[in-house]
Amino acid sequence: MENQNASNPVEQKTLEFDLGTFEGFNFRTQSAIYHPLSAKDVVNWDHDRQGEAEFWPSGDRPEVAILFRHRTGVTGSELVELDRLLAELGGDTVDNFLRIHHAVNTRGAALATLTRNAVEDNCLDVFLGSNFTDLRQEAAYQLFELFYPDEYKAWEKTTCDGLIFDTDRFLDSPAFSVEEVKLGNEVALLVASQ
C-alpha cells in the first residue's frame, strides 16, 4: 500500500497580507536559515520534514517586529491569527498593527483569542509622525480639545499673555498611558485613556 501522504502534498496555507520577511534557526542542522523567509514560508514550515526551527521578524515590516518584540520566536499559527485579525480590522495599516500591539503587549490579550471588538474597545488614540516632540504636542492639543472642549475653547480665546498649556504635564497625567514607538523612519505615539 502506498503512503497516501507522499502522493497528496500538504495543502499550503495562504495569508491575505504581507507580514514581511523572517529570519530563522534550524535546530536539526544547528545553523541559521541563510535565506529570508516570507510569512507564508513560516506558516507552512514542516517541522518534521524540514527540522524544528524558530523564527523572528527580520525588521522590514517594523510594525510586525514591534508586535513580537518581547518574544524570542514567532510561530506560524500566530501569523495566521495576526492575518485573521488584520482582515477583521479592515487591513494591514500601521494603525491596526499598533492597536493589536497595544492589546497584546500592554493589555495582555492573547493573539489567538483577540477579536476586532476587543481591539476597538481599548480607548486608544494613535498618532503618527516624524519625531516625538512634535507628535506629543499634536497629541496633547487634540486630546485636550476632545476631552475638555469647554476648557479648550476658553484657553484658545484667552487674551492673557503667559497662559500656557503644558503638553508634557497633560500627557503624563494619570488620565493617560503613553507609549512611544519607533517604526523605522516614522514614530508613533499611543495614548490610552485610563
CB atoms within 10 A of CB 82: 25
pLDDT at residue 157, as a whole number: 86
Calculated CA dihedral for residues 109, 115, 117, 120, nearest 10 degrees? 60
Q: Can you tell me the distance from the alpha carbon of 54 to that of 42, in angstroms, rounded to the nearest whole number?
A: 9
pLDDT band at 11 (very low <50, low <70, confident <90, very high): confident
Domain boundary among 96, 121, 146: 121
106 and 186 inside one domain: no
pLDDT at residue 162, as a whole number: 74
pLDDT at residue 9, as a whole number: 55
pLDDT band at 161 (very low <50, low <70, confident <90, very high): confident
Burial 146-157 (b: 16+ CB within 10 A, else e): eeeeeebeeeee
Nearest-5° Cα angle at 69, 63 to 74: 90
116 and 167 inside one domain: no
Query: What value does the mean pLDDT of the chain take?
Result: 90
- At 99, which helix (H) or strand (E)? helix 94-101
pLDDT at residue 165, as a whole number: 86
pLDDT digits (tens, 9 = 90+) for 163-189: 788 999 999 999 999 999 999 899 999
pLDDT at residue 91, as a whole number: 95
Answer yes or no: are the C-beta atoms of 149 and 155 closer than 8 Å.
no
Could you tell me how far CA 21 lies from the centroid of its own chain? 15
Q: What percent of the chain has pLDDT over 70?
A: 95
105 and 156 inside one domain: no
Residue bearing cell 523572528: 56
**What is the pLDDT averaged over residues 140-160?**
89
pLDDT above 50 for 2 = no
Q: Which domain holds residue 189?
A: 125-193
pLDDT band at 6 (very low <50, low <70, confident <90, very high): very low
pLDDT above 70 for 4 = no
132 and 67 inside one domain: no
Domain boundary among 106, 121, 136: 121
Nearest-5° Cα angle at 105, 56 to 115: 95
Q: What is the largest CA-CA distance in the chain?
A: 91
